[in-house]
Structure 1
């Protein structure tokens, strides 16, 4: 496993964007249809699959589908996931990064870009919180890809990546606090640039 946040000298440089309190309510609404059956959800997937969350990733694996990119943090609803889920979703972790709650950090965005640019399934183990990474994943994933994340107490939200979804996420991310210019530069960089 590689760590993608090896430069402690840049500790202040880690945070890119911070979720402002006034945007939290907007993120409570699902960005797509909610499904409780992973097999049925997978029938609608036609292209790369990005899973955000331990329980979502676990259900997709149980349904026999390894996500192309999975982001997990060992927690669900702010509690540790049980051992069976943790073992299943972290066994193939290939990148480990820090990303504090309610933030998007440099390491997690670099890891997302790297994972999206490889043909091998990639699991990113996040020390902190991975929830918000669904937003830049929708922007950076190719047309027709699927981003799936958990809606607590309801199921799995399936977002098929389209120009409209990308535009909606761009507008939302522009309203975060922090260095949006650097965020976009990192998110949209060629993997060879970073």
Structure 2
């Protein structure tokens, strides 16, 4: 089932980026924020609740390990190539929400849908038109302590971030250095 965006405000404003990643910060996102796992079963055993996955391949591997993430963010792309149809179909089963989010940005719609999906007692997949690569950052800020945010580290494995006050503060500090309206972003994430 596909649900319309629950974003507030005019439709034209929902797809406009609130913040964008400045070039000087790109190098700070290269290193993993948490431990890198290659075994989906080991990752599930160590993961907290809720579990948020960012990326089609990560989501696919965790689904194959037998548990659906509470929140999954997918965009149909891995390593700048379209994922195969099996992965695409597998990761988009169940409740989905469509959101626009251009490359290198975080839109208000994406931030709002991440918050709504974390709060939803049922699993939700957010299908991003554009790019979901930065979605781990607002997910870490919005998720409760003890949650796990999992994203792919190209050619290495899956990064599992356990949300704590310290990690959240680090990510907020990083996001505060993005270009754009960081106050508006934090007002959405700090519900």
Consecutive aligned runs of 4 or more in structure 1 exceeding 2 Å deviation:
5-11
Instruction: Name the SS of the counterpart of 1:138 in structure 2.
Output: helix
Name 1:89's counterpart in structure 2.
91
Q: Of residues 116, 129, 132 in structure 1, which corresponds to 2:131?
A: 129
Structure 1 position 2 matched with structure 2 position 8: no
Q: Distance in 1 between matches of 2:11 and 2:185?
A: 19
Task: Report the TM-score when normalising by structure 2.
Answer: 0.94
The aligned runs of 1:1-194 (5 Å cut-off) are: 1-4=2-5, 7-10=10-13, 14-189=16-191
Q: How far 1:187 moved relative to its partner?
A: 1.4
Q: Shift of the alpha carbon at 1:118? A: 0.9
1:177 and 1:142 map into 2 onto residues whose CA distance is 26
Contact 2:19 2:182 in 1 (8 A): yes
Task: Tell me if structure 2 keeps the 8 A contact 1:52–1:130.
Answer: yes
Gaps (5+ residues) in structure 1?
Answer: 190-194
Could you tell me how far 1:80 is from its partner in structure 2? 0.2
Q: Deviations over 1:26-65 (max 9, x none)?
A: 1000000101110011110132100000000000000001
**TM-score (normalised: structure 1):** 0.93
Q: What is the CA distance between 1:8 and its match in structure 2? A: 3.8
Distance 1:41 1:9, change over 3 A: closer
Q: How far did 1:157 drift?
A: 0.2
CA contact (8 A) 1:98 1:108 kept: yes
Instruction: Tell me by how many angstroms 1:3 deviates.
Output: 2.8
Question: What's the CA shift for 1:92?
Answer: 2.1
Q: CA deviation at 1:93?
A: 4.3
Q: Which runs of 5+ in 2 are unaligned?
A: none
1:9 and 1:70 mapped to 2: Cα distance?
A: 25
1-structure distance, mates of 2:13, 2:170? 31
